[in-house]
A and B are shown apart, each in its own frame.
Chain A
Amino acid sequence: MSNFEEIIVSKQAVPTFAVVILALIFGFGLFLVGYDQGHLFSIIQGAEAFDDLFIHELTHDMRHAAGFPCH
């Protein structure tokens, strides 16, 4: 006969992999909303992206509203 026992184990260690992923997302998202002036799309679109300012216009109002420096 065997008894089953269920216990809740608390694993405190924060996985490094998760921290790296979350830190990358933090940096990327902050740059996109706060600072991009066409950089992201220039990777695929070339120099034209800096004139189109696709991301800049899209995130523009949030940039002002969230307190990032703008125009």
Chain B
Amino acid sequence: MKTARFIALVLLAGCFAGIIHGTANLVIVEPYLDEAIGIENQNLFSSGEKQDTPEFWVEYSSYRDWQKGGQVLAGAILGTSVGALFGIIFAFSRRSLPGNHNVKKALILAGIMWLTIYFIPFLKYPANPPTVGDPETVVLRSILYLSFIAISGFGALGFYKLSNRLDKGKKIAVILGYAVFISIIFVAMPQNPDEVTAPMDLVIGFRAMSVIAVSIYWIALGIILGAFWQKLQPDKSLQTYTS
């Protein structure tokens, strides 16, 4: 495989998909973040911690602009790094993925990864808008969330390895095996310790938009990386023989 070409196409695909993700967030998720932070500000005023003065709002809007501007940049960073993981797994599994076009293969893998390392963990530990999380528990919540993602991801990988040793007809058993495995983990893992105090329709709206934006990322990643791979064929090289 052509190393430089492989690395470059993976990183570029991830970066582009991440920029799309950040842009989608700006459009559909930011309104919910603004609303949540608005509630937070009201709480600060009513508890007397902050004063509702023009100075407050000047400072507030300057760091909010900074945070919003960060969406696209952070999207590019996160997109590139998740894309790097995707690229590694795609390179190893490409031949066993169904389909004869790389875009199709990449989309199938993106779908599997979306489900196992994003959506199932999301169902257990859903995204929350600002004001919900207790700063005291952020380390615990991070450990729980990351562990669940890692267990689900490695579990899926383990069952995939197992499926290579089975006959074609028995592959469905592997999917069932993963389903049982992840259901047990799902029930066994402790709940998010924080109580949701924000208005429920704000939280639900935020979560729905968050899922849509992340899903857009995975679809974009599959299409872009698959198309780059199809075009650049990093695992093939043209050799000239003289006979």
Chain A, residues 23-55, CB within 8 Å of chain B (1/0): the string is 101111110111100000000000000000000
Choice from A11, A22, A32 contacting B85 with Cβ under 8 Å = A22
Report which of B11, B75, B80, B144 forms a contact with A62, defined as CB distance below 8 A.
Answer: B75
Chain B contact residues, majority secondary structure: helix
Residues of A within 8 A of B128 (CB): 64, 69-70
Q: How far is the CA of A35 from the CA of B236 in the complex (A)?
A: 38
Residues B1 and A33 in contact, CB atoms below 8 Å apart? no
* B122-133 to A contact mask, C-beta < 8 Å, 1/0: 100111111101
Residues of the A chain whose Cβ atoms lie less than 8 Å from the Cβ of B1: 11-15, 18
CA A68 to CA B39, docked complex, whole Å = 21
Q: A4-B242, A71-B138 are in contact. Are A61 and B68 (CB under 8 A)?
A: yes
Q: Given A10-B235, A19-B88, A59-B73, list of 15 further CB < 8 A pairs? A: A6-B239, A7-B238, A13-B1, A32-B77, A58-B66, A59-B70, A59-B74, A61-B74, A62-B71, A62-B78, A66-B214, A67-B126, A67-B145, A70-B128, A70-B133
| Those 10 A-B pairs whose CB atoms lie nearest each other, nearest first | A29-B81, A62-B74, A69-B141, A58-B70, A67-B127, A59-B74, A22-B84, A33-B78, A26-B84, A65-B25
Q: List 29 A-B contacts (CB under 8 A).
A: A7-B241, A8-B237, A9-B236, A10-B235, A12-B235, A14-B1, A14-B88, A15-B3, A17-B3, A18-B1, A18-B7, A19-B88, A22-B10, A23-B84, A25-B80, A26-B85, A29-B82, A32-B77, A33-B77, A57-B66, A58-B66, A58-B69, A61-B70, A62-B25, A62-B71, A67-B122, A68-B142, A69-B138, A71-B131
